[in-house]
Amino acid sequence: MRETPFSPGDSTLGESLRKQGCVKNIFFSEGTYQIECVDGTSSETFWPFLQLDDRGKILDCFCTCHAAESKGSCEHLAAAFLTIFNDKVEPLHRRFRESLWNVLCQLAARRHGYESHAITKEKEGLYQACSQTGKVLLQLKPLTKTAEEQLEEIIAHRHLETEETSLKFSNLSSEELLLWKQGRPTTQLQFELSFWSDLAKWWMFLQEKSDPYSIDFIFDEKGFPKGITIAFSSLKIAFYVAEVNWAQIIPTLKTVASPLPVFDVQGKKVKQIEYDPEKRQFTLDWETLPKTKPSPLKEGHNKTFTLDSWVYEVGVGFYPAKPDHFLENHVITEEKIPAFLQKYLPLLKEHLTNTKVSASSIVPRYKLYFTPDATLHIDMYLFEEEDLQKGNPAYFSSWVYLDGRGFYHLEESLFPSSQMQIPKEDVAEFIDKHRFWLHTCDGFQPHVSSVEARLGYHVDERGNLHFTTLLDVEQDSAGIMDFGSWIYIKGRGFYAKASSRTGMYIKPGLVVPRSDLSRFIRKHREDLETLRNFFTPVCHITKAGVTIVINEEGVIVVKPEYSFLPQYPREKVRIFEEYTFVENEGFAEIPFSLRLPDLYQNEKEIDADFEPYFLAYDLTILQPFTVFLDPRLQKTEDLSLQIKKAWREDSKNFWRVEMEYQTEIGSILAYDIWEAIHDNKKYLFSKAGLIYLKQSRFHWLKGLSKKRWAKNGKEVRLTTIEWIRLSVFENIKKPAEQELSGESSDEMRSFLNLSLAFVQGEIPEVEGLHSSLRPYQEMGLRWLWFLYSNGLSGLLCDEMGLGKTHQAMALIAALRTELRKKEKKSKVLVVCPTSVIFHWQELLKRFLPSLQVYVFYGAQRNLEDVTSELVLTSYGILRTEKQALSKIPFELAVFDEVQIAKNAKSQTHKALRGIDANMRLGLTGTPIENELLELKALFDVILPTYLPNESVFKELFVNPIEKGADPEKKFLLSRLVKPFLLRRKKTEVLLELPEKTEEIAYCVLSDEQKKMYDETMASSRSNLLDSLKDRGSSVPYLHVFALLTSLKRICDHPCLIHKNVKEYKKHHSGKWELFVELLKEARESKQKVVVFSQYLEMLDIIEAYLKEEQIGFAGIRGSTRNRAEQVATFANNPSCEVFVASLQAAGVGIDLVAASVVIHYDRWWNPAKENQATDRVHRIGQNRGVQVFKMVTKNTIEESIHQIIERKKGLLEGVIGYDDQEQVKSFTREELIQLLEIAQ
């Protein structure tokens, strides 16, 4: 009888019930069973319920009888369990899963469908299924009335199965159940709920009950089986089997009496298997099977057929296509036995003759003990101790062999062998890993409570902290063993060493290095307080400090200074950052006020590499502890430059100055700082204290050569401009008034007050100037004359219309007068744009008629034998004739519209720097247009070398101002350039000038413009955005400018794109309609109008309209020759109501004060250019208020550009007082991205 998990008595009764036939109906689905069992005594029917895994282990069970409820065991459960196995190795559900009946019905279900109508009932109870061509594929023919009724019930009269009524739902997962409820059951569930599953189980039960049956195969003319018939006593079954399905059927033929055998290898079958316990190996005995008699073969037909992993040999049977390496040899050796048991267990159970294989799994047991060397031994046994050490036992992974008992499958196997030895050093880790398992081992259980253990410690010579164990029980006592974090007490088990007292981290064997000791104590203080004598309440230190000096070798030395309690000599106290330590007393926390940084608890010399860091950081950290600090290391709070004496040399441009730097600590010659800077030092130890040399205030020293110093560095030679620059960068300490005495006092005062003299100078004589100067122009002349008198140069940047040209001519007259008094001759050079060269000629002729002027311009120009007092030329000629002009020494060089030279890399800039002139005067209304580097470029033309070189200038000003908006740097730059730059606005000096009103005149695109605008944007916008967002590529300014220009043209008028100006009336423009309205309003109010546009085609349209409307007009373009005549006509002819001008051509050099309305038809990139053009109207001579309209198309690129330009205005006004953005290159990458993203 098979062993059962129930009581021996119930098992015996259960076997009796099974043999008596008391076990009736069996219902199962996978491993869930419900079995009808009639009680042998009371004839009462009970229903045992069991749930098994594939090995036959009971997972759950119960019975409807009272005995099972009370004791969990009964004869009905035992009978059901024995019936499930039916003297077989595997449980019924596993045998069914691998049966011929299950596979045949699975194939039929997939072929014909799962519903009952997939099979039809014919006469005499015959059921069959046919192909679409009428070929019979399946027949079920009942031979008895009972079989006919059974078929009828299974197929035709099926009961609806639900969760509540059927076992078939008991093994479903929640996901499978949800799919079923959604009408999407899995394929397996479809089969399980179909009649096919019930048919297969019926036939399985017939086989289990040993109902006689026979199996035959139907062969085709090639000898290949095309069908299978099964004949039971009550039923005949016929299946058509396609060739592709045989691979699934062949393995199941081993479970039935098949006329075609299934060989383990080709032509052979295992006869018997024997196990040799001594050699630990299996021996396989094979037999060769006789051939069957297949259907006659025609000549030339194959004798074998390959069916996936199987081969069918005609007249022989089936065998694997690939030989199994396990079955190739007659002997299965020890190392192969685990895999053999896993793969061929059914074969082994069937043919093993000299021993047996247990049908059930067994839970192994273990014996644990220690040997004298504290090695833990673990010996596995099954039934009695050491049974796996007696005879010839064997351990095969999850299988064990015992002499006289056979093979047993281990339900769980914790260890790789049946005998384990854990050395002492690994026991603690083993306990931590197997703590739960050890709880099942008597005398070796880990306990929650702990044996009282005490941590000890000591500090070694290097200052490392070591933790050790001090047990409260004697370690040598019998039965007590120490395994680090665990203590073993014989007969009681394992106890932790009171780990909770010191935390999980602090354990015996832990070593804390000196570098981490202070941090460790601070972090684990609460735990360490539990250690005996770890802390002491006595603070050993009474005072702590450092002295910091510079030794004779120039090295900084930090010396700690401690005072200790009298009973603690210095050599007994060790210091660890925040703690002191005394042997046998413990650690004491140093009060915060006495706590020196760990690095300086002992005397330390600061090496050269660490010195900068020490000065920058550690010197400050040590300040609270510093008892004495070398004066040379003291950081100064007030460093000023003391001027001792100053006097002018024979040359008007040079001064001799005695100076020194002073601090609250002492003083140092400026020469010493100069010398340290030229030695590339970052700082200087001096009698005045610690001086850092990377300050911007010392930049004035870098440009001085050693030749400038005299009297061992006490005196220095400075030019006027160098002194002015020095006064900007430095905190100058001037001598008291009472100290200024003697012959040089006046020169000293003059030197110290140079910057004030800029606005206090006298007005020079201006003989020959036929013009009177306004008060603000007189002040400008004073400023210019002071610059000239002191060998300086400058930039006159008055707003357009304030008479910069007149002030320049006044300076020329003053210079001419001064030179005549001294009977000297010299020349003046005036360079201006080509467009105003003749305007300059007219002004000089009118206001300085006696001045000899030579216009160096035109094809016949020649500089040889030029005796004229003034040379007038253009920038274009200058670039061409730079070598000739550079050879002439000029007393004064005037550069009109000098912003042309704002690009330091341009040829114009290079040519201007090559001019030889004692004074350079730049005239411009826009001294800076894009960035601070352009300001520097202009100063490099006017005052070469005054501003720092480009790299220093960027570091000092460009980056802090343009990127960080640093107000201090902005103020410093303003101070630096202010003495040489004079800028006045009309609102400041011309209070009588009429008001100017500016207004943005908005319009919208017409439908035609909107369509053109969207198409143009769509064609280019995406690619340009992608390119701009690629940070690795250069900004495609050219393509961006082309797109923006096209969009601006569309905003003006469609004809600017179509190029058909004459047909402008056929197209519609929102801006044009607004312009016509504005023009009408101005004419009705009797005001003359000036219209500016940057596009010549737009000017053509405007002029065509004016002609058609018979409105008088004049105008200027770049190609206009009679500029003066056009301006005069507009000024003097009342019927000339409109002046039409190109922004570039009419932006400078003309007066249009006859007009009082200005219309900017399209926006220029640079609003300063617009303002210049507007100032042709709003200037001296204007007696009416000026109305300015700037036309902008809403929701287009024009509005976006306007917003960005307005936002950027003011960036540099604090430096220069004006902002003139120009060109699309003034936009950053981010602004261009923003521009294109919002322009859609």
378-392, 754-768, 915-929, 1070-1084: least confidently modelled range: 754-768
Position 34 confidence tier, pLDDT thresholds 50, 70, 90: very high
Best CA proximity match to 486, nearest among 567, 370, 573, 405 = 370
Rg of the chain (C-alpha set): 56
The whole-number pLDDT of residue 715 equals: 82
Q: Which ranges of 134-182 does DSSP label H, i.e. alpha helix?
A: 145-151, 174-181
User: What residues contact residue 1042 under an 8 Å CB cut-off, 6+ apart?
Assistant: none
**pLDDT digits over 41-55, tens only?**
888 999 999 999 888
Above 70 in pLDDT, residue 85?
Answer: yes
| Strand (E) or helix (H) holding 108 | helix 100-112
The whole-number pLDDT of residue 170 equals: 83
Average pLDDT over every residue of 818-839: 86
- In 3-state terms the chain splits into helix, strand, coil percentages (rounded to 5) of 40, 25, 35
Q: What angle do CA 505, 506, 507 make, to 5 degrees?
A: 105
Above 90 in pLDDT, residue 921?
Answer: yes
The whole-number pLDDT of residue 1185 equals: 77
**pLDDT digits over 1195-1204, tens only?**
898 888 887 7
Dihedral of alpha carbons 1118, 920, 726, 675, sign: positive
Count Cβ neighbours within 10 Å for each residue of 571-589 and write b for 16 or more, e otherwise. Answer: eebbbbbbbbbbeebbbbb
Contact 1124, 1146 (CB under 8 A): no
Contact 298, 221 (CB under 8 A): yes
Cα distance between the two ends of the chain: 91
User: What residues contact residue 778 under an 8 Å CB cut-off, 6+ apart?
Assistant: 763
Best CA proximity match to 414, nearest among 401, 428, 395, 394 = 395
SS3 at position 817 = helix
The whole-number pLDDT of residue 1216 equals: 44
The whole-number pLDDT of residue 444 equals: 92
Mind listing the domains of the chain with CATH numbers?
Answer: 8-93 (no CATH), 115-259 (no CATH), 260-356 (no CATH), 535-629 (no CATH), 633-752 (no CATH), 761-989 (3.40.50.10810), 996-1238 (3.40.50.300)
What are the E-state strand segments in 126-199? 127-130, 136-142
Q: Which residues pair with 27 in a beta bridge?
A: 34
CA 112 to chain centre: 59
Strands 376-381 and 419-422: antiparallel
**pLDDT digits over 1097-1146, tens only?**
999 999 999 999 999 999 998 888 888 889 999 999 999 999 999 887 77
Cα→Cα distances 754→150, 614, 777, 1063, Å: 128, 42, 21, 66
How many Cα atoms within 13 Å fall on the side-chain side of residue 869? Answer: 16
| Residues 851, 864: Cα–Cα separation, whole Å | 19
Average pLDDT over every residue of 346-356: 85
Above 50 in pLDDT, residue 896?
Answer: yes
421-430, 510-519, 601-610, 734-743: least confidently modelled range: 734-743
Best CA proximity match to 1197, nearest among 1012, 997, 962 = 1012
**pLDDT digits over 241-257, tens only?**
999 999 999 999 989 99
Best CA proximity match to 122, nearest among 142, 108, 107, 104 = 142
The whole-number pLDDT of residue 559 equals: 92
Count Cβ neighbours within 10 Å for each residue of 320-344 and write b for 16 or more, e otherwise. Answer: beeeeebbeeeebeeebbeebbeeb
Region of 306 (left: φ > 0; alpha: ψ -120 to 50; beta: rest) is beta
The whole-number pLDDT of residue 296 equals: 47
Above 90 in pLDDT, residue 421?
Answer: yes
Best CA proximity match to 260, nearest among 244, 271, 249, 270 = 249
Q: Which amino acid is at 327?
A: L
| Residues 1240, 1010: Cα–Cα separation, whole Å | 11
Average pLDDT over every residue of 266-286: 88
Joined together, the tokens standing for residue 469 give 């164990």
Position 927 confidence tier, pLDDT thresholds 50, 70, 90: low
Above 90 in pLDDT, residue 784?
Answer: yes
Average per-residue pLDDT in the chain?
85
**pLDDT digits over 655-691, tens only?**
788 788 888 888 888 888 888 888 888 888 888 888 8
Above 60 in pLDDT, residue 301?
Answer: no
Average pLDDT over every residue of 60-77: 89
| Residues 915, 754: Cα–Cα separation, whole Å | 27
The whole-number pLDDT of residue 1032 equals: 77
CA 1204 to chain centre: 30
What own/partner pairs with CB < 8 Å and gap ≥ 24 does 700-703 have? 700/725, 700/726, 700/729, 700/730, 701/670, 701/673, 701/674, 701/677, 702/677, 703/945
740-754, 874-888, 1105-1119: least confidently modelled range: 740-754
Average pLDDT over every residue of 895-913: 93
**pLDDT digits over 88-105, tens only?**
878 999 999 999 999 999
Joined together, the tokens standing for residue 157 give 């009269």
Best CA proximity match to 641, nearest among 706, 721, 695, 683 = 695
Best CA proximity match to 1017, nearest among 777, 1237, 804, 795 = 1237
Best CA proximity match to 658, nearest among 704, 621, 709, 699 = 709
Q: Which of 11-20, 564-573, 977-986 is predicted most confidently? A: 11-20
User: What residues contact residue 1058 under an 8 Å CB cut-off, 6+ apart?
Assistant: 1067
Please identify which residue in the block is written with the tokens 């449980």. Answer: 91
Secondary structure string (H, E, C) spanning 194-220: CHHHHHHHHHHHHHHCCCCEEEEEEEC
**pLDDT digits over 967-991, tens only?**
888 888 888 888 899 988 766 776 6
Above 90 in pLDDT, residue 828?
Answer: yes
Secondary structure string (H, E, C) spanning 499-541: HHHCCCCCCCCCEECHHHHHHHHHHCHHHHCCCCCCECCCCCE
467-481, 520-534, 895-909, 1067-1081: least confidently modelled range: 467-481
The whole-number pLDDT of residue 453 equals: 57
Rounded percentage of the chain residues whose pLDDT exceeds 90 = 36
Rounded percentage of the chain residues whose pLDDT exceeds 70 = 90
Q: Is the pTM of this model over 0.75?
A: no
**pLDDT digits over 1207-1238, tens only?**
666 553 444 443 333 456 667 788 788 777 76
The whole-number pLDDT of residue 5 equals: 87
| Residues 870, 888: Cα–Cα separation, whole Å | 12
